[in-house]
Amino acid sequence: MRILIACPTLGINSEVWILRQIDGLVRLGHEVSVLCWQHDGYTPEDYTDRPVTVLPYGLSGATGFKRWIDRAKNALGRNFVRGSAGEEDSISERLGQQRPDVILCHFGFVAMRVLPVAQRLGIPVAAHFHGLDLSSMLKMRWYRWSLQSQVKKFDHAIVVGSHQAQILRDQGVDENALSLIPCGVPTEQFQPVSRPARDHVRFIQVSRVVPWKGVEQGIRAFAKVNPQLPDSRLVIVGDGVQLEEMKQLVAELGLEHAVEFTGAIPPDRVVQQLQSSDVFIHHSLTYHTGWCEGFGVSIAEAAAMSLPLVVTRSGGIPDQVIDQQTGFLVEERDVDAMVQAMLKLAGSAELREQLGQAGRQRMIEHFDSAGQIAKLEGVVRNAAGDRHAEA
């Protein structure tokens, strides 16, 4: 198949699953090209064998009076996420050059921008939802109205969490046009290592340092753990708008000796940090904006490396973690429950190994990237339908 992948930004560390899907679909023998609005860390030249087009338009759209003019123009079709005429011309030119059998759009707002052009050209669209496009963005009435009117026009909708599937069912999406396919983890790349049965347990969180990822709650839980386990350590891997604020919180709690911030680091160093750790924590929150976790990629990566987990019962995380079998699920904002789970794991190397091994086995059986990409290929192949058969 000729598959065009449309995504907001190519190359973001937190969206590494896009690169994995591209590589996986290419390995399965398909021609893959990419359409994006910007790139981060990668340039089109990095993908000479997989053509990349970076559109000269912003995803935020018009502002002020021009925004209302655009909304008035789009009122009849009720797709208020639709891009400008110039953007659609650029997309049309790209589709004419690549002649894809199907377009795989990452995030619902991208799918709705591509949809009008794809419909004119008769190209099927598979919309791949991830997180904010079925959580916080639903608080925005123009986006919500657009989704309600456009979602059944997609040839297929893909979600990464069972909670998202229910949202689309409520929007009237037919079960036959809906698939649950988590992003997954390449378990062959995230291999476990032998960990010593030590008392100085090393906790780790890998995420953006933003309020809804619960870094603050993780630090406050560790602040109650450390006095009971003075040799314990916490490593926070990632960057974000709260980084300096969280460093200040650590200083105020007197934990500078025990907490390390690595900032954003390359994937190979993330693996090294996970290898050196004993317990993975992640206090994801349903934020006041409506945002909630779709699929926790870093949670899957840690589990694949046999790290036991202490995570929240939030968004799609319960799909990934079986409470007391592969880790501990705690309620959002229940720092004391998190403390108890952390202490329980810190006190038993045998329990850490037991839950860690079970977690890796679960990732292999249910969330390995190769298997998820094979499912994704089946979906886009069905969406391509007669167009691919005639090609």
What is the architecture of the domain spanning 2-184+368-390? 3-Layer(aba) Sandwich (3.40)
Tokens of 79: 């797709």
Task: Map out the domains of the chain as residue ranges.
Answer: 2-184+368-390, 202-367
Q: What is the pTM of this model?
A: 0.86
Tokens of 129: 């939802």
User: Has domain 202-367 been given CATH number 3.40.50.300?
Assistant: no
- What does the pLDDT look like over 158-188, one tens digit per residue? 999 999 999 999 999 999 999 999 989 999 9
Who contacts 195 (Cβ-Cβ below 8 Å, separation ≥6)?
A: 278, 349, 352, 353
Same fold, 2-184+368-390 and 202-367: yes
Would you give per-residue pLDDT tens digits along the chain (391 residues)? 999 999 999 888 778 889 899 999 999 999 999 999 988 765 555 555 678 888 988 777 666 767 777 778 777 778 888 888 889 999 999 999 889 999 999 999 999 999 999 999 999 999 999 988 999 899 999 999 999 999 999 999 999 999 999 999 999 999 999 999 998 999 999 999 988 777 789 999 999 999 999 999 999 999 999 999 999 999 999 999 999 999 999 999 999 999 999 999 988 899 999 999 999 999 999 988 888 888 999 999 999 999 999 999 998 999 999 999 999 999 999 999 999 999 999 999 999 999 999 999 999 999 999 999 999 999 999 999 855 444 4
